[in-house]
Amino acid sequence: MGAAGSKLEKALGDQFPEGERYFGLENFGNTCYCNSVLQALYFCAPFREQLLEYYANSKNIGDAEENLLTCLADLFTQISSQKKKTGVIAPKRFVQRLKKQNELFRSYMHQDAHEFLNFLLNELVDILEKEAQAVKSEPETSSPPEKTANGPKHAQANGVSKEPLVTWVHKNFQGILTNETRCLQCETVTARDETFFDLSLDIEQNSSITSCLKNFSSTETLNAEDKFFCDKCCSLQEAQKRMKIKKPPHILVIHLKRFKYIEQLGRYKKLSYRVVFPLELKLSNTVEDADIEYSLFAVVVHVGSGPNHGHYVSLVKSHNHWLFFDDENVEMIDESAVQTFFGSAQEYSSNTDHGYILFYESIGASNNKS
């Protein structure tokens, strides 16, 4: 491990970024799904900064009870405050807490990295929301209501519905989709908004992220038994439905649906399709039709031919260098090596290392507004 670390330091030489740390994570028996996602999140700069800031502030409050958020913050703090520039850290407390919290991750079986990411982000939001509620309900007796500084800015309407709290997790990852349905009889458009932390895209052989996003937003006709109940016509009608991105997130997480249930086989199969993901992505299927540019900074890769076994590794861009994280091992890779993880153009290929979760950060501060 030490040798690998010193090798990485030698490779970067005097280009080693000031104050940065590159640490591998120990595997506790099939915890690569967790390690690969944690590395991607650690190198998501705004998320890391806000998590470390949260941790520094919460330490002053006293001994808060341990939860997944404190364990993650503790792990990130541990990595960022290491004296050495490279090495290995055991995320033991975090993994123990994860298993305690969710029985899904308790076994030593192969787990899904996307399920873990989803669970983690939602869990962090729940914890932050509960903390904000606790802070709000405490000073009620002694201080006027307008003093609840960290709570939602919007007052409670009719004392029942309240504006949901926007946490720093939301500010980084949350986007808004709008589901538009147009009745073909009366032309009325019904729009329904929904929030998302990541986009799950169906994939096709020899395609690209751009074409997968186009398919995601393509118009679908609802007819026969799928007719839409139109409120204006007060009856079932043929309609056209489409999904658009109303508010693009600051960090766009794209999950490629590589595991597909095959009816005839009665099980899931891994799709090793070649799906090109660019280093710079233009997002054009937005409501405003304004192109938003994103830059790729991390890829979680599934290694293996099937869904129930295999391994996860991650590729991370840090200070214009690409790094390859495989549990305890960290090495530098060339930017051109990223394209070897697009997938296989042939059905049966010896290459089983395929991009599975992509992390893009928006370029420019225009949509970094809170």
Task: Read off the amino acid at residue 98.
Answer: L
pTM, two decimals, is 0.89
How distant, in Å, are the alpha carbons of 207, 218, 311, 347, 349 from that of 264?
25, 28, 26, 18, 23
Strands 275-276 and 207-208: parallel
Q: So which residues are the catalytic ones?
A: 32, 311
The answer to whether residues 312 and 36 touch, using CB atoms and an 8 Å cutoff, is yes
Of 314, 313, 253, 248, the residue nearest 284 (C-alpha): 248
d(Cα 107, Cα 111) in Å, to the nearest integer?
Answer: 9
347: helix, strand or coil:
coil
In degrees rounded to 5, what are phi and psi of residue 61? -70, -20
pLDDT of the chain, 370 residues: tens digit per residue: 556 667 888 888 888 999 899 999 999 988 999 999 999 999 999 999 999 999 988 766 556 688 999 999 999 999 999 999 999 999 999 999 999 988 888 877 778 999 999 999 999 999 999 988 887 776 554 444 433 333 333 334 334 445 678 899 999 999 999 999 999 999 999 999 999 999 999 999 999 999 999 999 999 999 999 999 999 999 999 999 999 999 999 999 999 999 998 888 888 899 999 999 999 999 886 777 677 899 999 999 999 988 888 899 999 999 999 999 999 999 999 999 999 999 998 877 778 999 999 999 999 744 443 3
